[in-house]
Amino acid sequence: LAIKTGKGGARLTHDHQKQYAYVLQSLTLWREILHDMFHLWTLAEQDLLSENVPYRLRDTGQGLNRVQAAPKTSRMMHAILNRAQRSIGSWVGSSVIHMGDHNVPNALMFIDKYSQVYRILLPICNTLSQIPSLAENPALRSYIEDEWGSTEGLSREILADFFRHGFDGSGAGNYFDAGSCIDGRLTSAWNWCSTLEKKRFFPVFLLTGFIGFDGEW
């Protein structure tokens, strides 16, 4: 799983062990966020509608956006991050949480961004779970064995590619917008999704019914 800055679009340099830990902690954090999503949504609404938290309209580079601090949502996110860090025991990379800046202008944008996690992971999980049934077809089994040696070899390549290139700090032109920060981890994963059709295992996704990362399956 080792990655190196400048190679394959990576903006981080990790050996295998460090990258394994980085991916594990990122997925653990996403699990914790999704577990508390309804609570976060409630806090986000309170922040957006608060009379004590002013906002300003600003061009963030992604159009005109309502830039507004989100103290309640941010406080909850730091608590979730702390919980994830304790469960892992160590932390690789930055712990910066973007909120109320040009990356994540307000609490609503934060909720929208992290509600996409299942859109990224579900198609990957569905494809992996259906590989054994694909191999029941003699022609497809022959294709899989010729290309990857076995169904396990295919699954390993998909996972290794996602764990390597979906968590490499890519997806933006600088380390503040992408890199290893909490928000940047999701940016890198989305960037991987945009390159899926260039992967040699993309036909396998299509064979299992994949049509996109838009929540439809």
Rounded distance, CA 169 to CA 11, Å? Answer: 5
Least confident of 91-105, 154-168, 196-210: 91-105
Residues 43-88 pLDDT 10s: 999 999 999 988 999 888 878 888 999 999 999 999 999 999 898 8
Residues 16-53 pLDDT 10s: 999 999 999 999 999 999 999 999 999 999 999 999 98
- 185-192 LR contacts (CB < 8 Å, sep 24+): 185/26, 185/29, 185/93, 186/30, 186/113, 186/114, 186/116, 186/117, 189/120, 190/116, 190/120, 191/9, 191/166, 192/161, 192/162, 192/165, 192/166
Q: Is 195 helix (H, G, I), strand (E, B) or coil?
A: coil
More confident residue, 69 or 171: 69
Structure tokens at 37: 């999503």
Rounded distance, CA 127 to CA 209, Å? Answer: 8
pLDDT band at 7 (very low <50, low <70, confident <90, very high): confident
Rounded to two decimals, what is the model's pTM?
A: 0.85
